[in-house]
Structure 1
């Protein structure tokens, strides 16, 4: 095929591609129907999402087909983010524990010339658990202070002869619940730290026994 003929064929193909692209860009965006659970009115749906519902959980449906096209989870609170961070720290500590046990059991004598070298294997795990303890302790202190502040506000209202607002009472319940949860996490991390100390000591005892057995006449 001659070069000139090939060029003339490219012209209508390019024009068709540009037309298709423009049609796609100009096509109206599919409308959605938003549905959420309202504490007062129950299940509510609308084709316009109210600003106060932007951070709340909702389902999204196609206006044309009625099919469910997506869902949005509620934005996490500060307490939920703290719990998520604690869970991630726990997962990292668990993984570090697995890796440490593998290293110490498979090549204890070949890899570590002294007890000091063996102890350093546990440094990463110890640091992770210590950080988790410190974080949980900080969260407990912070949430306790916040709860005390809310309780003082309620006490001041009662001393002034005013009823405690429903919103304040609900905040007190929520903060107390989160405080109890963080206290439980702190206790769990502290127990892990104690168990880790015991594991280190057990490993050292096995190492000493293996060293003794490996010596001539052992």
Structure 2
């Protein structure tokens, strides 16, 4: 027995058929994609074409609608291996700078909450400053001691040569060892002194930030009037007294 109605799926397909046929062109093909032009610089000249040749794939180019003449897209040129390496390093540095800024912000917040006054904050640096100072003094003492010992050995070796005696291999070895140790201690001294100078800068920067957060000094870039208001927000106004003749 034949059914007297079509299934719902067949009805839906029949309803969509006219719309699908309307999208077909008279030739029976699907409508073509909008044409566009490619423009790029090659050998110092501006080149535009409706097709992108293989040699221009790596060039920076603009995509322009052939119908409206308006730019519809832009493609950057392909980076070289060296440029990609530089870009990767710059991206990593930006990430480090962002992390450092975030760490500094958190440090400032913790510092503001942890220390009630500047004196408490200064105590934090006492032990660290004493340690670096001790390293500097020890390195300076070692440099002086090693230098004096090296001068003594060189003088003794010179006296033996002047008297016609041979300088023993043991003495020559001691001179080389003492000289190498002197150079190492000088490098340590320079490193410790640099650390001490950097510590002074760090302490001054932290104290400045702490005073700014506490409102004791004006932020960088503020006007002198803003700084005076921040330093003494509750200072009473003083009326000027005219000079009497």
State TM-score, norm by structure 2: 0.44
Structure whose CA Rg is larger = 2
TM-score, normalization: structure 1? Answer: 0.49
